[in-house]
Structure 1
């Protein structure tokens, strides 16, 4: 696996139990609305604090998601710069194996491969290219 894929966020690591930003935001707003409607002051404080924490978690989750996207983009750009100066055939792919960048040697040998899967690029050379790319 190329080094730029080893740091990519994998959807399989996010389970169905992980709350989304929208659900955290909605829960936070619901708690704040419950705090406004609660008759008892301790209940108002409890709901307001809970709502504030949930809203903070929603903002933090969105910020973390954006940070991961920026880090992935930097890793891909670093890989592109390294591979661009390599004399051998080199590709940069995303997590699904779709070619995002190929260097000059790869362009000479395989043509324009951007947007195609790596297995599809190698199908002229290998009998079963899909079996060669295990994760």
Structure 2
């Protein structure tokens, strides 16, 4: 009787293995389309030729990182009290400070590809947000 039970047990255990040799046909193309992501993000880098960026574009891409929040003691954008003594020094002094770096700010705000005119545009734009009336140098061709 024990031998019969042992054979029955072995037969039951071998049943799941009976279908192992069957090769199921899987359509790779169908599987790929069914497992596509729900959404797709595509990033496009918009390159602007050096020399043609406006003060606002430079402020947004370079200066705002510190000046919008006042991080690292940067005078906040639009803070008239913080900017008044700086504006009083004059446009050329502000441009020189921005070009060489001042305090925690690196030269050109860390954007080494800025041309001199672009730097002047960004300084005029930023200072004008706090009450200055500097003329932003024109973009060539405008």
- Name the TM-score class by shorter chain: under 0.3
TM-score, with length taken from structure 1? 0.24
**Counting helix residues as a fraction of each chain, which structure ranks higher?**
1
Q: TM-score, normalised by structure 2?
A: 0.23
Larger Rg: 2
Higher relative contact order (CA 8 A, sep 6+): 2
